Amino acid sequence: MVHASSRPLRSHSAGSLLGGTAAVPGDKSISHRALILGTLCVGETRIAGLLEAEDVLNTAAAMRAFGAQLERDQDGSWLVRGVGVGGLGEPDDVLDFGNSGTGSRLVMGMMATTPIRAVFTGDASLRRRPMGRVLEPLRLFGAEAEAGEGGRMPITLRGARVALPVRHHLTLASAQVKSALLLAALNAPGRTTISQAALTRDHTERMLRAFGAQIHVEPLETGEAITLMGEAELGATSIMVPRDPSSAAFPVVAALLVPGSEILVPDVMLNPRRTGLFAALRAMGASLEVTNRRDSGGEEIGDLKVCSGPLTGIEVPPDWAPSMIDEYPILAVAAAFAEGRTVLRGLEELRVKESDRLAAIAAGLKALGVSVDELADGLIIEGRGMDVQGGGLIATHMDHRIAMSFLVAGLATRDAVTVDDTQMIATSFPDFCDLMRRLGANFAEPD
């Protein structure tokens, strides 16, 4: 059922190929962190290439509420005049993070060791997501939190009156929780050590070094331990935000599936903890070529050339999940067009994303005529090669990645695919539809 306030969109192959340059937006993870760390500096941080999507703009609004001065320059770069570690002011109003789990959790960590109070909320989707996973370890620093049932928003967080250093082992593979704890540690005395069994995204560690924090990462037999010296003084710097591999995933898979297509994705981040999708697609036989590798602010970037071609189903190792957790919806679409079976396991985390993504993916693939078994922690997808029927209406459940993934699917199905809403795409990729149309995608409002 399509509601009057929604924006449904239809996608159809229409026999057209995709070609050109896919200049996807700046990386969302880097954008959030650049704003937060710029706020925790004394001085002026310049950020070029910031993702100006709703999620990031909500984080920017929160930084202003804590006392930072933010300006957008005429050249599109952002200037952040920070307040320093421990210098945060108390917000006058509720902080609304919209759909952003990353922004809200990282900001909880940022303020958890400063003796101020803030109220966190978000949209209906974010208010359903579990926050206990970050609130419980933040209490170790001395923070206090009042939350709704199940640790959900709205949340009132009171930073520690007397912050304590922490030694904590993460049993959950979550870069958001790890990053929140490292941000909290900046204003706690002495050394805080966070260990983890799984190697999650390390953007926070890389950027903390760039801002001058004393941080050490020690490999363990399983995982790693990260030690940070608290009561830090961060130095303002300049950040160039690389292009987002999670956003690049959609035009990349579209170009692989639409016969005769060839596109270039320039300046995309190649951090090995973010490129699991590209590795999985190569294992399926995809033609992906990286040229012009270089360094940008501690992150490797390069230009990615993508050519269409047949794919073969594979079994994706569960330990790849942290490097591609947001890309499983579009990987599942690629698997639907592969020859043979694809097995995806170790994905319990997808149950508590913007939607229950495993259930949403399974329902969407079935609507396309693809056989799929939904497991407690994954999916088994019986690929149909380039013979996917399509048709029907896809329920997106307010999830931007579900919407974009099935719009991509419709470019290669026999019958048009309609998603029930596209408004939420603006949370991460506001230019998605225009960019895809420039490449040759046939998106239109349904009749």
Q: Tens of pLDDT along 181-221?
A: 999 999 999 999 999 998 999 999 999 999 999 999 999 99
Asked whether residue 36 is assigned to any structural domain, the reply reads yes
pLDDT band at 349 (very low <50, low <70, confident <90, very high): confident
Asked whether residue 247 is assigned to any structural domain, the reply reads yes
Q: Could you tell me if 229 and 258 lie in one domain?
A: no
Does residue 3 carry a pLDDT above 60?
A: no
* Confidence at residue 4, expressed as pLDDT on a 0 to 100 scale: 46
| Annotated catalytic residue 96 | no
* Confidence at residue 121, expressed as pLDDT on a 0 to 100 scale: 97
**Omega of the bond prior to 154 within 30 degrees of 0, cis?**
yes
Span of 14-18, 43-47, 79-83, 360-364 with lowest mean pLDDT? 14-18
Asked whether residue 264 is assigned to any structural domain, the reply reads yes
Q: How far apart are CA 433 and CA 422, in angstroms?
A: 9
Asked whether residue 2 is assigned to any structural domain, the reply reads no
pLDDT band at 5 (very low <50, low <70, confident <90, very high): low
Angstrom distances, CA of residue 50 to CA of 35, 254, 291, 396, 430: 9, 25, 23, 27, 13
Specify the DSSP element, H or E, that contains 301: strand 299-307
* Confidence at residue 178, expressed as pLDDT on a 0 to 100 scale: 97
Q: Which residue has the higher pLDDT, 351 or 359?
A: 359
Q: Is the distance from CB of 147 to CB of 184 less than 8 angstroms? A: no
Q: Could you tell me if 288 and 423 lie in one domain?
A: yes
Q: Could you tell me if 199 and 338 lie in one domain?
A: no
- Please, what is the angle between helix 54-65 and helix 28-39, to 10°? 10
Amino acid, res. 134: V
Specify the DSSP element, H or E, that contains 181: helix 175-185
Q: Is the distance from CB of 265 to CB of 302 less than 8 angstroms? A: no
Residue where one domain finishes, among candidates 190, 225, 240: 240
Residue where one domain finishes, among candidates 240, 259, 286: 240
User: What is the arithmetic mean of pLDDT over 344-362?
Assistant: 88
Asked whether residue 19 is assigned to any structural domain, the reply reads yes
User: What is the arithmetic mean of pLDDT over 115-133?
Assistant: 94
Marked catalytic residue, from 27, 326, 399, 420: 326
Does residue 58 carry a pLDDT above 90?
A: yes
Which backbone phi and psi does 123 adopt, to 5 degrees? Answer: -75, 180
User: What is the arithmetic mean of pLDDT over 413-438?
Assistant: 95
Residue span of the structural domain in which 391 resides: 9-26+242-444
* Confidence at residue 297, expressed as pLDDT on a 0 to 100 scale: 64
| Mean of per-residue pLDDT scores for the chain | 94
Residues in contact with 221: Cβ distance below 8 Å, sequence separation at least 6, in sequence order: none
Q: Is the distance from CB of 59 to CB of 26 less than 8 angstroms? A: no
Q: Is the distance from CB of 187 to CB of 37 less than 8 angstroms? A: no
Tokens (6 digits) for 199: 């190697």
**pLDDT digit string (tens) for 269-291?**
999 999 999 999 999 999 999 99
Q: Could you tell me if 246 and 236 lie in one domain?
A: no
Asked whether residue 113 is assigned to any structural domain, the reply reads yes
Q: Could you tell me if 224 and 275 lie in one domain?
A: no
Domain total in the chain: 2
Q: Is the distance from CB of 67 to CB of 75 less than 8 angstroms? A: no
Q: Which residue has the higher pLDDT, 392 or 316?
A: 316
Q: Which residue has the higher pLDDT, 428 or 334?
A: 334
Asked whether residue 287 is assigned to any structural domain, the reply reads yes
Amino acid, res. 331: L
Residue 225 is part of a domain; what is its CATH number?
3.65.10.10
Q: Could you tell me if 48 and 139 lie in one domain?
A: yes
Amino acid, res. 392: G
pLDDT band at 11 (very low <50, low <70, confident <90, very high): very high
Q: Which residue has the higher pLDDT, 371 or 319?
A: 371
Q: Could you tell me if 236 and 246 lie in one domain?
A: no
Q: Could you tell me if 344 and 208 lie in one domain?
A: no
343 forms beta bridges with 315, 380
Q: Which residue has the higher pLDDT, 355 or 314?
A: 314
pLDDT band at 16 (very low <50, low <70, confident <90, very high): confident
Q: Could you tell me if 272 and 196 lie in one domain?
A: no
pLDDT band at 380 (very low <50, low <70, confident <90, very high): very high
Q: How far apart are CA 388 and CA 298, in angstroms?
A: 42
- Only one residue has tokens 């097995």, namely 343
Residues in contact with 352: Cβ distance below 8 Å, sequence separation at least 6, in sequence order: 129, 130
Q: Could you tell me if 260 and 147 lie in one domain?
A: no
* Confidence at residue 211, expressed as pLDDT on a 0 to 100 scale: 94
Q: Which residue has the higher pLDDT, 305 or 128?
A: 305
* Confidence at residue 347, expressed as pLDDT on a 0 to 100 scale: 92
Residue where one domain finishes, among candidates 212, 240, 268: 240
Does residue 2 carry a pLDDT above 60?
A: no
Q: SS3 for 404?
A: helix
Angstrom distances, CA of residue 343 to CA of 322, 378, 446: 16, 8, 33
Q: Could you tell me if 51 and 13 lie in one domain?
A: no
Q: SS3 for 26?
A: strand
% of the chain exceeding 90 in pLDDT: 87
Asked whether residue 346 is assigned to any structural domain, the reply reads yes
β pairing state of 262-269 and 19-21: parallel
Q: Could you tell me if 121 and 162 lie in one domain?
A: yes
